[in-house]
Amino acid sequence: MKRIAIDMDEVVADFNLKHLHVFNRDYNDNVTLDDLMGCHLRDLRPHLIQEIRSYLDDPTFFRDLDVMKDSQEVIRALSEHYEIFITTAAMEVPASFTAKYEWLKEHFGFLDEMNFVFCGDKSIIQADYLIDDNARHFKRFSGQGILFTSPHNVNETGYVRVNSWLEVRDYFLR
Amino acid sequence: MKRIAIDMDEVVADFNLKHLHVFNRDYNDNVTLDDLMGCHLRDLRPHLIQEIRSYLDDPTFFRDLDVMKDSQEVIRALSEHYEIFITTAAMEVPASFTAKYEWLKEHFGFLDEMNFVFCGDKSIIQADYLIDDNARHFKRFSGQGILFTSPHNVNETGYVRVNSWLEVRDYFLR
């Protein structure tokens, strides 16, 4: 059975939606997802880079992110034909460990928690496929990288790209 | 540069010493490391299996484990010739995430935290070597498993075995 490793933020968990919401609320701003095309919030508001980052030090930040559309149904279907691992660069945000674990148990409870991986450098991942919004993780990954479209990566070229979980389904279960 | 993945409990962190100490203290018992040869504490005291396990639900349990003798010096030396990752089955004890991270930062701060991996099923680990006290992790591991001697595994045969960190040094840096 082939193995698919799947990232969390911006792939199964809607990080941007909450991050923009709390930022706009706290700084009386109106940044939209369209503004994030090809960049990050920190690039648009560099004078607030510390504040933008500090949201991630809140241990509860990642607990109530929305689930990305169709991800549950598609991953459940994939899990009948592939070994599924969730592989998140949680070491970049150590405060998030418990929230990320609880979020996965709540929304992807049909997966075995022995298949959850909190890592940093994803070259440690042994899998046939890696679905991720950060192309940098594909550089030393030995399998096939699949770039999940997120505003910040829209200008990246040279990768297999999927724009939605329905496109993931078509890629693997066509 | 070849890559060595290294387990935590009973390999770099002295789990047994503390576990036995708190158990003997709380249950007025006198179990020794010699008693654990070829088995686990739960096998010796099956009527207390829940209590034995429940220590691991304490978020602070793993924070003050002793460092295994010579592990810091040898891993520092290995890190000049090999890529080092710490790979621990933390998903088995989700309460331990923060304590394990802080413990690694305190005692192995010379390693990049991007090379820390909290996982469950270690077949996800892409490495040339895995030093672990649980031989079950070698079954689906694609590299060379190296069994680090711990009381529970003394009767395991058929694996490359090291009895100390000085033996690890000799294996890799001979």
Residue-wise pLDDT tens digits, A89-103: 999 999 999 999 999
List, as ranges, residues 127-146 from B with C-beta within 8 Å of A.
127, 142
Q: What is the mean pLDDT of residues B70-91?
A: 98
**Interior angle at CA B77, CA B72 and CA B82, nearest 5:** 110
pLDDT at A67: 98
Q: CB B125 to CB A127 under 8 A?
A: no
First and final CA of chain B: distance in angstroms? 17
Residue range A103-154, pLDDT digits in tens:
999 999 999 999 999 999 999 999 999 999 999 999 999 999 999 999 999 9
- DSSP secondary structure of chain A: --EEEE--BTTTEEHHHHHHHHHHHHHT----TGGGTTS-HHHH-GGGHHHHHHGGGSTTGGGGPEEPTTHHHHHHHHTTTSEEEEEE-GGGSGGGHHHHHHHHHHHSTTS-GGGEEE-SSGGGB--SEEEES-GGGGTT-SSEEEEEP-GGGTT--SSEEESSHHHHHHHHH-
Q: What is the mean pLDDT of residues B68-97?
A: 97
Measured CA to CA in angstroms, residue B29 lies from B23, B36, B41, B44, B51 at distances of: 7, 14, 12, 11, 13
Measured CA to CA in angstroms, residue A102 lies from A63, B16, B47 at distances of: 7, 28, 30
Q: CB A117 to CB B116 under 8 A?
A: no
Q: Is the pLDDT of residue B53 over 90?
A: yes
Residue range B101-113, pLDDT digits in tens:
999 999 999 999 9
In degrees to the nearest 10, what's the CA dihedral of B119, B122, B124, B126? 110
pLDDT at A64: 98
Q: Which helix (H) or strand (E) holds B136?
A: none
Q: Is the pLDDT of residue B12 over 90?
A: yes
pLDDT at B57: 95
Residues from chain B contacting residue A121 (CB–CB below 8 Å): 85, 112, 114-115
Chain A nearest-CA residue for B91? A114
> Does B92 reach chain A within 8 Å, measured CB to CB?
yes
Name which of A101, A120, A126 is nearest B114 (Cβ-Cβ). Answer: A120
Q: Please report, for chain B, the start and end positions of each structural domain, with discontinuous segments joined by +.
A: 3-14+63-173
Q: Give catalytic status of residue B7 as yes or no.
A: yes
The answer to whether B46 and B78 are in contact (CB under 8 A) is no
Measured CA to CA in angstroms, residue A118 lies from B85, B87, B117 at distances of: 13, 10, 6
Look at the alpha carbons of B41, B59, B68, B10 in this order and tell me if their dihedral is positive or negative.
positive
The answer to whether B151 and B108 are in contact (CB under 8 A) is no
**Per-residue pLDDT band at B25 (split at 50, 70, 90):** very high
pLDDT at A108: 98
**Per-residue pLDDT band at A25 (split at 50, 70, 90):** very high
Residues from chain A contacting residue B98 (CB–CB below 8 Å): 94, 97-98
The answer to whether B64 and B26 are in contact (CB under 8 A) is no
CATH of domain A3-14+63-173: 3.40.50.1000
pLDDT at B174: 81
> Does B60 reach chain A within 8 Å, measured CB to CB?
no
Distance CA B36, CA A106 (A): 37
The answer to whether B162 and B147 are in contact (CB under 8 A) is yes
Q: What average pLDDT is seen over chain B?
A: 97
> Does A108 reach chain B within 8 Å, measured CB to CB?
no
How many CB atoms are located within 10 Å of the residue A55 CB? 16
**Per-residue pLDDT band at A38 (split at 50, 70, 90):** very high
> Residue B153 contacts by C-beta under 8 Å, 6 or more apart in sequence?
B133, B134, B135, B147
Q: CB B126 to CB A121 under 8 A?
A: no
**Per-residue pLDDT band at A174 (split at 50, 70, 90):** confident
pLDDT at B143: 96
Chain A nearest-CA residue for B2? A124
Q: CB B123 to CB A126 under 8 A?
A: yes
Give me A103's structure tokens: 């979020």
- Closest-CA distance, B104 to chain A, in angstroms, reads 12
Q: What average pLDDT is seen over chain A?
A: 97
> Does A85 reach chain B within 8 Å, measured CB to CB?
yes
Distance CA B11, CA A121 (A): 22
Residues from chain B contacting residue A92 (CB–CB below 8 Å): 114
**Per-residue pLDDT band at B84 (split at 50, 70, 90):** very high
